[in-house]
Every structure is written in C-alpha cells, then in structure tokens.
Amino acid sequence: MNQANLWSALQQSALVGADRLAVPAVLTTADVSTPATVQAVQLALQQPAASTAAQVLRASAVAAVLERAGWVPGAHIKLAAPLAQPAVPVPDQRAAPDDAALQTLMQAVMEQGPQNMLALSFAELDQAGLRLPHGLLVPALNLGRQSIELREWLLPVLGERGRWLASLNPQWSYAAGVQETANIELVWQEGSITQRVGVLESERESDPAKARARLEASLKELNAKERAPMVQALQEGLSMDDEPLLEKLLTDRSKEVRENAAQLLTLLPASAHSQRVTAWLQAMLSQDAKGEWQIEPPELVNKDWERDGVTLQPPSYVKGERAWWLHQLVALTPLEFWHQTLNRTPEQLWEWSRRSDWKGALRQGWLKALDTQHDLRWLPLLQSMESDSRAQALLPPLLGQLTPEQREALWMQRLERKQGQSALIESVNSIDDSLGAVDLLSLATSEWIVDAIYKATRGKQAQGNWHSWQADQAVLACARRSHASVLPRFADLWRTPVPEDQLPAVETEPKPAAEGQNVAASAAANAEAIERLKAEQAERKARARLRPWDDENVLAQLNRIVDLRLALHAVTQS
C-alpha cells in the first residue's frame, strides 16, 4: 500500500466510522518490507486500545506528526536511489533567549493569537541580537508561509537552523537562503529572493550606481517574481540616474514590473515619463470665464498611455472608460503638478474635486499617488478623513517621515481635542491604525491613554460604549502599543478587581423588598448571606458584558499580550 492509499484508508475509516469500515488488514499486520512511514502507523494500530475508533485516531495522530516532520500524505514518489542525508546545519550565530516562560508565551501567541503581536515580538528579539528558540521554528515558519507581511520580521530571527529547516520543505522556501555570515556575492548568487533584495537595498544606501548595475546585469536571468521586488528596491536612493533603466522596464514582459517602474518614475518629476503624463493631464484642464479650473478626460483613448502604465480596458466592475483612464493618469502624475498648476493646497484640491463630474476618479487617483509619493502636505487632510479606511491606511508611511516627537504631538492634539464618551475608543483605534507593525507609543502618551482608560472604566458606570467590538480593539491596541513601563498598571484594570461597592449595577430578577431589606440588614453578621450575595454578584457579572475584559476571549488575549511583552522586555533589556 502506497502512502496515498494509506492516508485515504485512514480518512475513510474516520469519516464512515471505524466499526463500519475497518482499516485494511495490511495496517494491522507487521510487515518489515513496507516503508518506514507505514510501519509507524502499523505499530500505532497494534497497540492495545479501548476500541477500533481509538486505534484509527492513534494512527491518524502518528500520520499527522509524520506530515509535520516532512512527509506529505498522498505524495508517492518512486525514487531511483535513497534520499541523501540532509547536510547538518551550521551553528547559529545568535543566541536564543534563555527563558522557558518566554518560549511558552510566544508559542501561545503563535497558536492562539493575537497574531499581530508576532511582528513586534520578532522585531524586539532582532533588535536585541537574539533568535527564535529551535522549538518555535516550525510554527513560525508555517505562520510566515501564511502571512507575507510577517516575513520581514520573521526572517532575521530564524537563525541558521531555521534557514536549514526551510531548505528541506518546499512550503517554507521563502525562508531558505545562505548563511548570515556569507559574503555579499555568495548571497547574490545563491541566496533567497528576500536576501537578494536585501543586498540591493543595502547597496542602494551606500552605492546606488553599483546596485543598479548589479540588477541590470541580472535582469535576463531573473523571472518575473524576482524582477518585481528587485525593481522596487531601486526606490532607495532613487535619482535621475535610474531613469534610463526604469524607462526600459516600462516594456518589461511582467505587468507587475511595468507597474513598479511607472510608480518609481512618478517620484522623478523631471523624468520623461512624468513629463508625458503631466502633458496629457494639462490638455484635459481648462479655465472657465471666472477662472475656475475644470477637467474633462478625452472621449477616445490614447494608445500611447498603455506604455506608460495605463491599462486601457477597464475591469468589468468599473463603469465608464473615461473615469477609469483619468483615475490611472492622476495616480501616475507627480502630486507637485496639481499644487503648481492649480495653485491649491490638498484641502483646496479635495474641495475643488467635489464640484467636478470626475470627483471619484480624481480622489481615487490622488490617494493611489500618495501610496507611492508620500507627500507630507497631504497629511492633515488624511488625518481629517477618519471614516475613510483607504485614507487611514496611507497614514503610517507619512507619519514615518516625522520624528517621534512630531508624531506624538499630533496624537496628543487628537486625544485632547476629541473628548467624549466614545472619542477615546475611536482615537486609540485611529492611532493604532496609523502606526507601523512594530511601532510603540512613548511613555508620556502611554501614561495619558492608560489614565484616560482608568477614568472611563473604573467606577460605578463605565463612561462610553466599553462593551463593544471597537472597545475590545482599543484595549488590545493599548496592550500592544503602550510603553512597557505602564503595562503592570494597565493590567491592574482587570487583574485587581474593582471594589464591590463600585461595581456597575446590573438588573436581576425582581425579589420581594422585605427579603432584600432583611438580607441587607443581616449581611454583616450572616456569613451565609454574604456568600450568597457574592455568588449572585458573580452570576450577574458573568451575564453582563460591561467592559472588554469581561469577555473571556478578550481577557485571554490581554493577558497573553501583557505577559509576553513584559517577558520580552525583561529578556531584551537584561
């Protein structure tokens, strides 16, 4: 029986029922001629068990372990020769944190969440010059396979053992590569795509021309999936010296490469590409008798647009070719063109578009342009668009251009300006959305927010809608983003119970007034009555969802976040 049939037999027995469809006899009879994987399952089935179902479950458990170790059920390959023994991994250059409790906490977050804590955890290990413990490599590699965004923070802390494991499993190929200590030329020739992009980015910081020449010499050897991120790496140290290569890439076979090249050229207002696009837009602009600017896209397509990054045929969900063309042309235009030509601020441009028949195309184009151009003049406008998710998603790279002090000042202005029962929740969530994956708040801002949450949630009644999903996200964000020094006090919100006389009143079933008065009168002396009241109070609290931590799932996440962050802080600061 091959491996495919073995796995199929176990699945069928589990689905139909082991008592109705027993597993094949070959699995219950020792046979040294069968593959080692089959023998392992046979051994599991031969052990005494309470029922046939228990035997099948045990065999399935063995098969699952084999799968995690590298055997892929259903992949039956006839080998001409035995597989070669994998090379032994080279010793790790970094140490792992010597803290069993930290490893347990990290494993709990990997398995149970919240997974948006992982990037911060990996980044803190990396900054401290540490790597992941070997016991966490398999779940970490699996998480990296599922999340491309996580890889930026995961790859530096995998260590040599992690890269060695990744080289043995095709599903982890994103993390395979050469040793950390390898020279640049070896990394460029044999490293993973991530490592090779890293070489380009590093060289662009010190010698942009050398990096550009390296990429240009390798273009013919690279496939489209490799070319696209490498072309994007040219954004570091971008200058007019890069224009000839980027112009050439506008005709690349890969659409993604062409788009990357066009976007980079928008960062060069003096480039021929930018001049062509602005000329096309200039032809669409006119002024009426009062001097008011108007825009009118052409009725017919210009075939020359396609080479410069415009997709001529709109997708089926887009209504109107002219709006589709205008949207793309605006996205490819340097934002400086609008400020100089119309002599308007971003806020004035936004208002001007409101009076245009092409408002949607203009606004979508500007937002897409900001995704590449990161023009700080647009920051106040984006901050005012609190209900626009796309505008809010553009904030992190813009805020990243500010100093930490400038960012904190903007956030404090918002927090102090927007006072109200729900304003705190909205503000904390907005700040969280505007931060990068591993950004943290300063001590002063953290203390302000924690103090505000104390005032809002401690007392007889919570001030605001603190039993909402938005409130859950706000307190989880506070746990992730706050300065480590305030976390113990923040955790006291749920770890130190509110005195009973301050608990919010919760309605219960009506009781006769006399009985309630008797209980109240005798509570101090009657221990049984006190215990009964405590039990009733606990029951009311269990039914009530008054604050985020009253929800068991939110409470568990809060505890995992706080405990992990404090453990990381202790390890990385020691």
Share of the chain above pLDDT 70, in %: 83
- Helix, strand or coil for residue 48? coil
274 pLDDT higher than 50: yes
Among the candidates 243, 267, 291, a domain finishes at 267
Confidence of residue 498 (pLDDT cuts 50, 70, 90): low
User: What total of structural domains would you count in the chain?
Assistant: 5
DSSP 410-456: HHHHHHHH--STTHHHHHHHHHHHHS-TT----HHHHHHHHHHHHHH
Tokens of 141: 């590699």
Q: What pLDDT is attached to residue 486?
A: 97
- Residue 208, domain extent: 184-267
Q: What pLDDT is attached to residue 74?
A: 45
Q: Rounded to the nearest 5°, which phi and psi values hold at 422?
A: -105, -10
Nearest of 501, 456, 498, 502 to residue 475 by alpha carbon? 456
136 within a domain of the structure (yes/no): yes
Phi-psi region of 78 (alpha: psi -120 to 50; beta: other; left: phi over 0): beta
**Same domain flag for 412 and 553:** yes
415 pLDDT higher than 60: yes
Tokens of 564: 């992990």
Predicted model pTM: 0.68
**Same domain flag for 389 and 423:** no
Confidence of residue 383 (pLDDT cuts 50, 70, 90): confident
Share of the chain above pLDDT 90, in %: 53
- Helix, strand or coil for residue 295? strand
pLDDT tens digits, 118-153 = 999 999 999 999 999 999 999 999 999 888 889 999
State the residue for tokens 């027995």. 13
Asked if 126 contacts 157 with a C-beta cutoff of 8 angstroms, the reply is yes
Nearest of 179, 230, 181, 240 to residue 203 by alpha carbon? 230
57 within a domain of the structure (yes/no): yes
Q: 175 burial class (0-12, 13-18, 19+ CB within 10 angstroms)? A: buried
Measure the CA–CA gap between 257 and 230, rounded to whole angstroms. 9
104 within a domain of the structure (yes/no): no
Q: Which amino acid is at 82?
A: P
The residues, any chain, with a CB within 8 Å of residue 126's CB and separated by 6 or more, are 153, 156, 157
562 within a domain of the structure (yes/no): yes
Q: What pLDDT is attached to residue 501?
A: 57
pLDDT tens digits, 77-121 = 455 566 566 777 888 889 999 999 999 999 999 999 899 999 999
**Same domain flag for 444 and 555:** yes
**Same domain flag for 349 and 214:** no
510 within a domain of the structure (yes/no): no
Measure the CA–CA gap between 169 and 165, rounded to whole angstroms. 7
Among the candidates 122, 141, 175, a domain finishes at 175
**Same domain flag for 249 and 389:** no
Q: 509 burial class (0-12, 13-18, 19+ CB within 10 angstroms)? A: exposed
**Same domain flag for 205 and 244:** yes
Tokens of 281: 């837009």
How many other CB atoms are there within 10 angstroms of residue 468's CB atom?
14
Asked if 139 contacts 146 with a C-beta cutoff of 8 angstroms, the reply is no
- Helix, strand or coil for residue 285? strand
Mean pLDDT of 370-376: 94
**Same domain flag for 384 and 292:** yes
Among the candidates 248, 267, 286, a domain finishes at 267
- Helix, strand or coil for residue 293? strand
The one-character DSSP state at 90 is P
**Same domain flag for 353 and 311:** yes
Confidence of residue 475 (pLDDT cuts 50, 70, 90): very high
Angle (nearest 5°) at CA 428 between 426 and 429:
65
77 within a domain of the structure (yes/no): no
Tokens of 207: 């010698």
Confidence of residue 258 (pLDDT cuts 50, 70, 90): very high
Q: What pLDDT is attached to residue 546?
A: 80
**Same domain flag for 330 and 353:** yes
CA torsion sign for 48, 49, 53, 57 is: negative
340 within a domain of the structure (yes/no): yes
Tokens of 230: 């490498």
Separation of first and last alpha carbons in the chain: 56
**Same domain flag for 354 and 278:** yes
Measure the CA–CA gap between 144 and 151, rounded to whole angstroms. 5
Tokens of 122: 């990996």
pLDDT tens digits, 196-250 = 898 999 899 999 999 999 999 999 999 999 999 999 999 999 999 999 999 999 9
DSSP 298-320: -SS--GGGGGGT--SSPPTT---
Nearest of 172, 178, 163, 168 to residue 132 by alpha carbon? 163
Q: 463 burial class (0-12, 13-18, 19+ CB within 10 angstroms)? A: middle
Element holding 167 (H helix, E strand): helix 159-168
Rounded to the nearest 10°, the torsion over CA 175, 176, 178, 181 is 30
Tokens of 98: 């010597």
- Helix, strand or coil for residue 259? helix
Measure the CA–CA gap between 30 and 157, rounded to whole angstroms. 44
345 against 531, higher pLDDT? 345
**Same domain flag for 554 and 433:** yes
538 within a domain of the structure (yes/no): no
Angle (nearest 5°) at CA 248 between 252 and 304:
80
**Same domain flag for 205 and 169:** no
Rounded to the nearest 10°, the torsion over CA 429, 434, 436, 437 is 30
